[in-house]
Chain A
Amino acid sequence: MDGAKVARRLTVLALLFTGGAFAASLLVGRYPIDWAALADPASMDRRVFLTLRLPRACMGLAAGFGLGAAGSVYQTVLHNPLAAPDVIGVASGASVGAAAAILLGCGGALTALLAFGGGLLAVGAALAGAGLSRRRDILSIVLAGIAVNALAQAVLMLLKLAADPEKELAAIEFWTMGSLADMTPDKLAGALPWVAAGLAGLALLRRPVLLLGLPDDEARMLGVPVTGMRRAALALATLITGAVVSVTGLIAFVGLLAPHIAALLRRGGRAGLLLSGLTGAGLLLAADVLARSLAASEVPVSVVTSLLGAPFLFWLLCRKEAAHG
């Protein structure tokens, strides 16, 4: 079948799955909602729906889509199928920002802002460090990212050492587990413009970003200013990831897995931003529904994504080995 037709059909299927997961996210929860009561402006059902259930489902959609799309960009641009936000330090930078905010006794909004700033700062440092190298290639970005990551981890450990074990340390640990549980309309409104801006930028640059998946000389000779475009693509993907993790905490595996699942569904050929994003959204929404339903008390969504992601990676590994004989 023609590649474009396959992509269209898969996109429709992914849309249906994500729509179903979004609906399930609205329906599932500790508080049973009487849907007829939603019309009453004074009802508790309406308040729960508008201030808790709807923001949570919307954030699941935006975060999953953003992480999936950003993951596909990281993997393409860094020529690394295992590239995830932490390769260039965004997740660990955000963790340092969040931990510092918790130690300083900041509220949720300021914690999100500092986490966002920490993520961007870490990636900025990695890209600046790579710029000092004479090679200015992918390897220098990855090595600079590893260095920044190690530095951020050291700072995070120092902050944890200084934290009060009863409250602050627990809060830092809980933040790094990631969750959509405390989502509010304010948090959603804080993150959404950045995610939308990053996605719009990536959509604009989708052709040059795709060409960055080729070896550098080929991309240059097809008209892409490689160094600048790679930095722009990484900055936009980081904007999305930083905005998401600043309000949700670290969400494991979605950015890594969504592009692989999308590529598997596509069975050869390009999965693209849209399909990777929709897969990420469906995955995160489904994981969040499971996180709310699996146990008596809610488990952090990262636990579920990791439980789903780790076996998938094993399966992917076995499948590749089988394919290579």
Chain B
Amino acid sequence: MDNGLLVKDLRAGYPGRTVLAGVNCTARPGQITAVLGANGAGKSTLLRAVCGLLEAGGVCELDGESIGGLSTRERARRIAYLPQRAGGELALTGLEMALLGFSPVLGLLEQPGAAHTRQAQAMLERLEAGAFAHTDMRQLSEGQRQLVLLARTLVQPHRLLVLDEPDAPLDCRHRRVLLAALQADAAAGASVLLSSHDVNFSLRHAHRLLVLGQGRLLADLCPAEAAEQTLADALRAAFGPVELVRHRGSWLMIDGEEP
């Protein structure tokens, strides 16, 4: 039953601090769902709670199964997650890092084989990161590291892809590369859930927008179909005075504050 992600009355936070207070949302297979919101709105908390990385109340199901009921290994075979500032300081080459994405399907004594290496190399090439296959991760720039980590996340088997601000360290060209990879992933049947501060990227390319503010879901809408006023109200509730303009059939958000 491929229903994608279903979140009902999700309450989550950190010891002594509740961040999310009763969020309801979905992320459908074949779609890119973008989570928007100001700093501290609860975007990263939502993504971590969906992955089962925080103690949370409410319902989080993937294809009808409770995510909290999955073992760590079962969960890793269904959900691929890339947090912000990922990768740590491990002394690995780009290819070795990308190959870690196959860990959930490898046995205890099994090492990645030639087929895994080919897939990882192909994903690196697709993300224009093939040149970093034999470079130490610690010698790469933030953007280059991010491309390698995206390759690791995309080769990991998954039904749900969760990315926390994946575009943040990327330049304009590599945002397009990222978008193509995400669209291909969604087309292959995955549910893609990502957070971003690039509202215009989300307005143009996401199938659904989840707008968060102060731990609550302010809006859950389809940017291609929503009325201008509904969309503008949701974005103003999250970001303050902003304006929407039409550009090549998509909405663009501009800061409405007078300089």
Contact = CB atoms under 8 A, between A and B. Distances in A.
B100 A211 contact: yes
A76 B90 CA distance: 8
B91 A270 contact: yes
Contacts, number: 95
Interface stretch (B71-79, B169-177, B218-226, B230-238): B71-79
Closest 3 pairs between A and B when the two form their complex, measured CB to CB: A268-B136, A223-B76, A223-B104
A142 to B, nearest CB: 16
Nearest to B104: A223
A44 interface: no
Interface in B106-145: 106, 108-109, 111, 134-136, 138-139
Given A3-B134, A223-B76, A268 B48 contact: no
Contacts of A222: 76, 100-101, 103-104, 156
B103 A218 contact: no
Given A204-B108, A268-B93, A270-B91, A223 B48 contact: no
A67 to B, nearest CB: 19
Contacts of B96: 3, 269-270
Contacts of A268: 91, 93, 134-136, 138-139
14 contacts: A208-B108, A217-B48, A217-B83, A218-B81, A218-B86, A218-B87, A221-B51, A221-B53, A221-B76, A222-B100, A223-B73, A224-B72, A268-B93, A268-B135
Given A3-B134, A269-B92, A214 B87 contact: yes
Interface residues of B, number: 38
Nearest to A259: B91
A1 to B, nearest CB: 8
Nearest to A266: B91
A222 B82 CA distance: 10
A29 interface: no
Among A1, A211, A221, the most chain B Cβ lie within 10 Å of the Cβ of A221
B159 to A, nearest CB: 13
A205 interface: yes
Contacts of A81: 89
A228 B139 CA distance: 31
B77 A223 contact: yes
Nearest to B51: A221
Interface residues of A, number: 31
B93 A207 contact: no
Given A79-B88, A204-B108, A222-B104, 12 more contacts: A2-B134, A3-B96, A214-B90, A218-B81, A220-B53, A221-B53, A221-B76, A222-B103, A223-B77, A263-B91, A268-B135, A269-B134
B259 interface: no
B80 interface: yes
Interface in B16-48: 48
A213 interface: yes
